[in-house]
Structure 1
Amino acid sequence: MEFQEVVRRRKMIREFHPTPVPDEVLSRILDNATRAPSAGFSQGMAFLVLTGDDLPRFWEIGGAWVSETVRTAPVVIVPMSSKRVYLDRYAQEDKGWTDRDETRWPVPFWHIDTGMAAMLILQTAVDQDLGAIYFGIAPEAVAPFRKAYGVPEDHEPIGAIAIGTPAAQPDAQLRAKLKSRRRPLEDVVHHGRWRGEG
């Protein structure tokens, strides 16, 4: 599939067939995720892949508020970021920040880089004729999630992605019900200097 078609077709899918995702397709999705940019090539992201018998517990703990139609997805990937990995990497000789001071970072690149990996998961799912949806894990669910799946304290789930074969393509009627619309390009792109609004 052409890249522009992947971008055009990428939407949050909210209803899935329970058909399993083939292993080779899941491997491609995960391999592409590891190709996301990472500051200093720190690679401080990890992915917990849940299928089969691992899923009901996840929906109980981390996705209790997610609709029943999303819960039919045969795969959930939980991308996680590790600040420790970034601080360790930047304390190495070629970086020279031996004090590991977090204030040196203008933004938390560990979360940003993991978010970019999540986008690659979403795009690769589309490229493989699958659908996907990204959703958050409620803060109060993080500790039970860690305990249930043995996730170390230094890895932070940034959300979860359900993947599978879409049960139906979003149609015009569904889109008509949406309260928000994509903002026009001229409202979000500023050339040379910021244009005021209003």
Structure 2
Amino acid sequence: MVRRFDPARPVPEEVVRDLLGLAVRAPSAGFSQGWDFVVLLDPADRARFWGAASGGGPGDAWLRGVSAAPALVLCLSDPDAYLDRYAEPDKGWVDRSPDRWPVPYWDTDTAMAAMVLLLGAEDAGLGALFFGVPAPRHDAVREALGIPAGRRLVGVVALGHEAVRTSGSARTRARRPLADVVHLGRFGVSVRP
């Protein structure tokens, strides 16, 4: 994950389109495809997003680094697409109740699409970061960018070329070993190192 971007190196629109072409190949429950992506390449659009997302307050080092990204992709989920799909005859949940969903797959599937976008960015030689918008700022972002009220803002992918890295968690923290995170048969039975 890149947290500092070089603002002098843009990301061509065609590259973003190709990355989104990969993202929409992600799996989705019932092939609902309940996602939308708002792409911000224009500096004025990105400034409008950052103003709404941050509340216009003074930026810290994280915000200064990430807001330099020349491309932002807002990843939105559409719960109604899933509720409608699962009310179709082949699924049979005619009540459209979100209570049938212990996990909100509209958000999960959108996050998977974002992950495909992140992996594609890596393959394209770009730096990328998935980040969230503070919950109290969601309505302001929706209003600033004309996003319908029924869409959920799952996260944002910043795209660009990495600026010189001077610090970061990946430099100071090791990945957890597989033996600590993979459990065979039941929780607590680890794989061999």
Query: Cα RMSD (Å) of the superposition?
Result: 1.9
1:43 aligns with 2:33: yes
Alpha-carbon displacement from aligned partner over 1:78-121 (angstroms, at most 9, x marks no partner): 10111111000111111111111222223111110001011011
Q: Which amino acid aligns with 1:162?
A: A
Alpha-carbon displacement from aligned partner over 1:9-38 (angstroms, at most 9, x marks no partner): xxx111111211112211111111111100
Please name the residue that 2:45 is paired with. 54
Q: With the length of structure 2 as denominator, give the TM-score of the two structures.
A: 0.88
1:138 aligns with 2:134: yes
SS in 1 for 2:188: coil
Please name the residue that 2:22 is paired with. 32
Q: Distance in 1 between matches of 2:135 and 2:170?
A: 32
Please name the residue that 1:80 is paired with. 76
Please name the residue that 1:192 is paired with. 185
1:70 aligns with 2:69: no
List 4+ stretches of structure 1 deviating above 6 A.
none
Kindly, what percent of the aligned residue pairs are identical?
45
Report how far residue 67 of structure 1 moved.
2.1
Report how far residue 196 of structure 1 moved.
7.1
SS in 2 for 1:54: helix
- Uncovered stretches (5+) of structure 2, i.e. residues with no partner: none
1:98 aligns with 2:103: no
- Count residues in correspondence: 183
1:89 aligns with 2:85: yes
Alpha-carbon displacement from aligned partner over 1:104-141 (angstroms, at most 9, x marks no partner): 22311111000101101111111100001111101111
Please name the residue that 1:182 is paired with. 175
Alignment of 1:147-158 (within 5 A): 147-158=143-154
Q: Which amino acid aligns with 2:159?
A: I
Q: Distance in 2 between matches of 1:71 and 1:159?
A: 15
